[in-house]
Chains A and B, each alone.
Chain A
């Protein structure tokens, strides 16, 4: 059970391995990939930046909290650096005895990471312009 931040491209295979266990019949993972559009503008690239010291601490805390809450094995990894549409930005996995907790934990973990881990993205558009994206700070995920 762990949380990682690495330069793009991230390697989630070993995380995935670490979650599988004979007592876990359900395994759910989520891949967040770079979208090629945002609010009607064509996105050609994304830059992720993290406040590493705090982001690692907070990410670890969330993984532990949610693992405990749902009784699952969970892990996550987020990329930083320059990404292109289609690239993997974040990977979240949860394994449990049954699928219900695995789905719920995976969903809650990705929502919590987006809301609470100090990582920011800057989008670059077709015209070469770029903009830092200000995340939503409402509690309900979307």
Chain B
């Protein structure tokens, strides 16, 4: 008899390339963030969905109702989350999914689940690009637990390498879902897929100090410079944006109704204090 299947949404990554929490990012027109979309995808197939987070990390918006599994702090990377899940439910099989795979369809998950059988501890797709196992949209049966622990003890923390070394059932992606496992690591990735605009932001003075950086790239669907400022101010906790702020687009002062284009450079300007 097959073990019960639980879902594990991996949201403990630091998203350093994205510059903001990937699970909280809204992609697409339905308004769901990546975390919510992944949970919606997992729920029909799993008895229960757990949220994997780092120590001290808060649940992404919309995922607060999920039961949390905290990473084992002595291990880094996704393996920490997977092992922590097995510690919680050692007799369950885990359908593990990263929170940055917005193109995973029910068909993709169904095919994984149909491949479950006695003796197959790891079930994963072969990457459409290099044929190697994709460990972050995969099933880990209870029998994989001991294997994972053994690798962790030897400091082998890369689930892909573990899957390569161990016996893994490798599946081919359904023909209509070749891109299903492409992930979104940078704002450029998202802009390329969603058609959202990519905006380069420059920071000066008090705002640069509070933001802790001089420039960054953001992705937005805001039609105008003013709407972008409003959106940025409401999503980021930057006190400096609360007062009077002017906007420059491409090194010219711009009115709030100035239309935004992908690739524009935007600078938010606090009242000047030269002289």
**Chain A positions near chain B (C-beta within 8 angstroms):** 32, 48-51, 53-54, 57-58, 78, 89-90, 110, 113-122, 132-137
Q: Is the CB of A137 within 8 A of B248?
A: no
CA distance A2 to B156 in the complex (A): 64
Other-chain residue from A110, A119, A134 in contact with B243 (beta carbon distance below 8 A): A134
CB contact under 8 A between A114 and B275, given known A54-B251, A132-B206, A132-B209: yes
**Chain B positions near chain A (C-beta within 8 angstroms):** 202, 204-206, 208-209, 243-244, 248, 251-253, 267, 269-275
Other-chain residue from A49, A51, A53, A110 in contact with B275 (beta carbon distance below 8 A): A110
CB contact under 8 A between A120 and B251, given known A89-B275, A110-B275, A134-B243: no
Q: Is the CB of A57 within 8 A of B252?
A: yes
Count: A-B pairs, CB below 8 Å:
78
Chain A: minimal CB distance from B57 (Å): 31
Q: Is the CB of B269 within 8 A of A51?
A: yes
CA distance A18 to B202 in the complex (A): 35
Q: Is the CB of B251 within 8 A of A53?
A: yes
Chain A: minimal CB distance from B69 (Å): 43
CA distance A20 to B269 in the complex (A): 36
Residue of A nearest to B272 (CB): A135
CA distance A37 to B209 in the complex (A): 23
Residue of B nearest to A138 (CB): B271
Residue of A nearest to B210 (CB): A132
Other-chain residue from A50, A54, A122, A136 in contact with B248 (beta carbon distance below 8 A): A54
Q: Is the CB of B243 within 8 A of A49?
A: no
Chain B: minimal CB distance from A87 (Å): 13
Other-chain residue from A50, A53, A134 in contact with B270 (beta carbon distance below 8 A): A134
CB contact under 8 A between A78 and B274, given known A51-B269, A120-B205: yes
Q: Which of A53, A117, A120 has the most CB of B within 10 A?
A: A120
Q: Is the CB of A114 within 8 A of B272?
A: yes
Residues of A within 8 A of B248 (CB): 51, 54, 118
Residues of A within 8 A of B205 (CB): 49, 120, 122, 132
Other-chain residue from A57, A110, A118 in contact with B272 (beta carbon distance below 8 A): A118
Q: Is the CB of B252 within 8 A of A136?
A: no
Q: Is the CB of A32 within 8 A of B275?
A: yes
Residues of B within 8 A of A118 (CB): 204, 248, 267, 269, 272, 274
Q: Is the CB of A48 within 8 A of B274?
A: yes
- Give 27 A-B contacts (CB < 8 Å), ordered by A residue: A49-B205, A50-B204, A51-B248, A51-B269, A54-B267, A78-B275, A89-B275, A90-B274, A110-B275, A113-B275, A114-B274, A114-B275, A116-B272, A117-B274, A118-B267, A118-B269, A118-B272, A119-B273, A120-B272, A132-B205, A132-B270, A134-B270, A134-B273, A135-B272, A135-B273, A137-B244, A137-B271
Chain B: minimal CB distance from A82 (Å): 15
Q: Is the CB of B206 within 8 A of A134?
A: yes
Q: Which of B202, B208, B252, B274 has the most CB of A within 10 A?
A: B274
